Structure 1
Amino acid sequence: MEQLAPELFARADPCALELAVVVPVLNEADSVVPLARALAVALAGIEWEMIFVDDGSTDGTIERLEQMASADQRIRVTRRIGRRGLSSAVMEGFLSTIAPVVAVIDGDGQHDETILPDLFRAVFEGGCELAVGTRYAADGSVGDWSAARHRISQLATKAALPFMKTPLSDPMSGFFAIRRDVAIAAAPGLSSTGYKLLLDIVATLPAGLRAKEVAYTFRSRTAGNSKLDSAVALEYFELLLDKLIGRVVPVKFVMFGAVGALGMGVHLIALALSLELPMSFAVAQAVAVGTAMTFNFTLNNHFTYRDRRLTGLRWVKGLGVFAAACGLGAVANIGAGSALYAQDASWWQAGLAGAVIGSVWNYVATSWFVWRRK
């Protein structure tokens, strides 16, 4: 193999890169400039770069990020098209740098950037593999959270305890620094679901990490809108379920099956209501099938494949492809069940086998043709 001349790749700056700060953003146009300025001040004396990872902002965030990047070569921008998710965005940032220490901080200014040097030094100089900004240490605080939000956070922390191989007071934290090689070692096993990358990492690595916690006070948002919604709780429990059974059964298959079970109820209700009208059973059954299929597609699109959600005309096209794929799944269900029944299997064994084969087909086919990752 041809040897590369080292001098061709020498840094113009003789100081080696020490820290990469990854900032995931989505529609944070009013926050990114003040945050970058505050980070630059906090990181004085450290050789750093900032990597903003944008998940498709539409409010001018990208334009402001590119202006900053054009003025300061230490600021980089990564744009993601057709995919979303805070955890996966952060990991993309981690994997795009050669800095030995990587950190993540939210793009909305709610994390206290002044403790970032402490997190960095704990990893870079202090022998730790992980350093976490915590709201729940002795001097930490959740700020002006409501009592209800505080209780929910504490319940989520307790639910995570059985999965953590590294004891942490705040595994829900989105503010931490970690050795890049440790993050890379964890990457293949991460579910990258939802917002809780730290929990994903400490639940994935086989052994506990040498960790330090640094307390801080969580700030109130001063610009933009929160990205938290009702589906965040679902994503959190999806992450826990993935850590529990993900090596055996894909969690999305479990969710797809759960939606299918609900769809059976919708089918029966639609059929009963249709039969109350002056229509034949065949027509009523067709109405029920169409209703249940639309219901299943809508729920899967909103929850199971939230990170690949279809909208507008793509939603309409997706529904058509979903219906076609599930139609073939029904044929597979009937064909497999009938074949087994003809081989002297009991009716329930044949029916169950057909249902499983049909469900697996529907899951694989729709994952590939309807909600395929780009």
Structure 2
Amino acid sequence: MTTLVIRDRISQTIDFPAEDRPAGSPDITVVVPCYCEAANVRPLVEALTRALAGRDWEVVFVDDNSPDGTIEAVREVARSNWRVRGISRIGRRGLSTAVIEGALSSSATYIAVMDGDLQHDETRLGIMLDALASGRCDIAIGSRHVEGGDNSGLANAWRHALSNGGITLAQMILPVRVGDPMSGFFALRRDLFVRTAPRLSGAGFKILMDLILSAPIKVRVEEIPCTFKPRLAGESKLDVLVMLQFLGLMLDKLFHGWLPIRFLVFAFVGLVGVIVNIAIMNVLRLSGVDFPIAQTGGTFVAMLVNFWLDNTLTYRDRRLKGTRLYGGLFLFLVVCSAGAWANIGIAQLFHDDGQTFDKASATGAVIGVVWNYAVSSTLIWRRK
């Protein structure tokens, strides 16, 4: 038996039977965006091997620098399985951008997307791919919300409510009827993905709706009944922040990209800061504190709240952690102090001019929010 010798970057030599390693690209690339899914890598590869038996396929895991060693688990499997590839992203986060990078790394005819948590029913992949090959549709969706589908794998009633709420919102703006627009399990031709990619926002965790709304054609959709299985390892990423990002994506598409998602989220954070500022100021005023001191206290607390929300939500893909978190907070407080003093000064001017406490405080807070955004984007959470 002849062998093909492949030498990886760390000079480890692996032998594969030459006849088992075809030349050229496969017909199907399964893109798996993942974060902290080390325990699920090998079981997923084994499941795909069974589900796609007889087909020419590969799987690309796109890992966002998981602290649990997900990419090392991928590499371990890849050392003995040529169908497995991994992309390790450092300094970037987000499911949608991970899918985009994984899909654009492929030369296959078809792209399939699924989560790395083993909750998607991989046995439906063949039916989805056959639907595409037959020409019946442009996007085949593994759907939990058509006859034969099952959504019971969602962890609890809260996650069911989040998912169902997102579906209702998405169906209001989609140009085609889709029972499960929140699905992360779908397939399409790579050439359609490539044509659509420049139009994608790349934001959030629900790329299917972005694809449908951004495609250069009105896509034909076929939904394949799919069971959403319970998670066996790791933790679900579906939370209220994901849903807020999903809402931002919808607004971005409604405004045709003229209003960036990050600005929309930042505006929400700024509004929260204004409310916090006014609330703290009023509490201090009722305690007998002079207006300048009350406004100073409200401004400081609002800055802390804004920093936490910006780090958690607005700049989720650039989130500061560890020592960078404390350094970012320190820099945020130091640099934004100039905006805070402008906030206090303008609020005092409006108050002296006869405006109510609330109006004066809100005006000053708006000035502070504008400064906060400029600092946040250029100094604190700048893209490396």
TM class, shorter-chain normalised?
0.7 to 0.9
Rounded to whole Å, the distance in 1 between the matches of 2:281 and 2:204 is 37
Rounded to whole Å, the distance in 1 between the matches of 2:286 and 2:366 is 32
Q: Does 1:245 align with 2:249?
A: no
The match for 1:159 is 169
CA shift in 2, pair 1:61/1:254, >3 Å: closer
Tell me the amino acid that sits aligned with residue 278 of structure 2. Answer: L
CA deviations 1:92-111 (Å, max 9, x no partner) are 10011111211111111111
Q: Does 1:322 align with 2:338?
A: no
The match for 1:47 is 56
Q: Does 1:103 align with 2:91?
A: no
Q: 1:18 aligns with which of 5, 22, 27?
A: 27
The match for 2:323 is 313
Rounded to whole Å, the distance in 2 between the matches of 1:124 and 1:136 is 23
CA deviations 1:120-175 (Å, max 9, x no partner) are 22223435321111111212111355566445433321211132123222111111
The match for 2:303 is 293
Q: Does 1:182 align with 2:192?
A: yes
CA shift in 2, pair 1:105/1:274, >3 Å: same
Rounded to whole Å, the distance in 2 between the matches of 1:266 and 1:152 is 26
The match for 1:57 is 66
State the shift of 1:324 in Å.
4.5
Rounded to whole Å, the distance in 1 between the matches of 2:250 and 2:44 is 32
Greater CA drift, 15-24 or 244-253: 244-253
Q: Does 1:90 align with 2:108?
A: no
Q: 2:314 aligns with which of 304, 308, 313?
A: 304
Rounded to whole Å, the distance in 2 between the matches of 1:55 and 1:107 is 12
CA shift in 2, pair 1:199/1:230, >3 Å: same
Rounded to whole Å, the distance in 2 between the matches of 1:78 and 1:24 is 9
CA shift in 2, pair 1:226/1:334, >3 Å: closer
Q: Does 1:235 align with 2:266?
A: no
Q: 2:219 aligns with which of 209, 214, 220?
A: 209
Tell me the amino acid that sits aligned with residue 124 of structure 1. Answer: A
CA deviations 1:213-263 (Å, max 9, x no partner) are 211211111222222233222122122122122522223223222322332
CA shift in 2, pair 1:23/1:296, >3 Å: same
Rounded to whole Å, the distance in 1 between the matches of 2:365 and 2:216 is 36
Identity rate, percent: 44
Contact 1:325/1:366 (<8 A) preserved:
no
Q: 2:373 aligns with which of 358, 363, 366?
A: 363
Contact 2:195/2:216 (<8 A) preserved:
no
The match for 2:353 is none
Rounded to whole Å, the distance in 1 between the matches of 2:148 and 2:174 is 23
Contact 1:131/1:177 (<8 A) preserved:
yes
Rounded to whole Å, the distance in 2 between the matches of 1:90 and 1:267 is 39
CA deviations 1:279-307 (Å, max 9, x no partner) are 76555443333222112111221222222
User: Which residues of 2 match residues 107-122 of structure 1 at below 5 A?
Assistant: 107-122=116-131
With structure 1 as the length reference, what TM-score do the two structures score? 0.83
Contact 2:296/2:344 (<8 A) preserved:
no
The match for 1:142 is 151
Tell me the amino acid that sits aligned with residue 174 of structure 2. Answer: M
CA shift in 2, pair 1:360/1:179, >3 Å: farther
Contact 1:143/1:219 (<8 A) preserved:
yes
Greater CA drift, 322-331 or 245-254: 322-331
Tell me the amino acid that sits aligned with residue 308 of structure 1. Answer: R
Q: How many correspondences in the alignment?
A: 351
Rounded to whole Å, the distance in 2 between the matches of 1:267 and 1:335 is 15
CA shift in 2, pair 1:315/1:325, >3 Å: same
With structure 2 as the length reference, what TM-score do the two structures score? 0.81
User: What SS is found at the alignment partner of 2:72?
Assistant: helix
Greater CA drift, 198-207 or 63-72: 198-207
Tell me the amino acid that sits aligned with residue 191 of structure 1. Answer: S
CA shift in 2, pair 1:147/1:229, >3 Å: closer
User: What SS is found at the alignment partner of 2:132?
Assistant: helix
User: What SS is found at the alignment partner of 2:38?
Assistant: coil
The match for 2:276 is 266
State the shift of 1:14 in Å.
4.4
CA shift in 2, pair 1:181/1:335, >3 Å: farther
Q: 2:265 aligns with which of 255, 260, 271?
A: 255
Unaligned runs of 5+ in 1: 1-10, 337-351
Tell me the amino acid that sits aligned with residue 59 of structure 1. Answer: D
CA shift in 2, pair 1:46/1:260, >3 Å: same
User: What SS is found at the alignment partner of 2:39?
Assistant: coil
State the shift of 1:333 in Å.
8.4
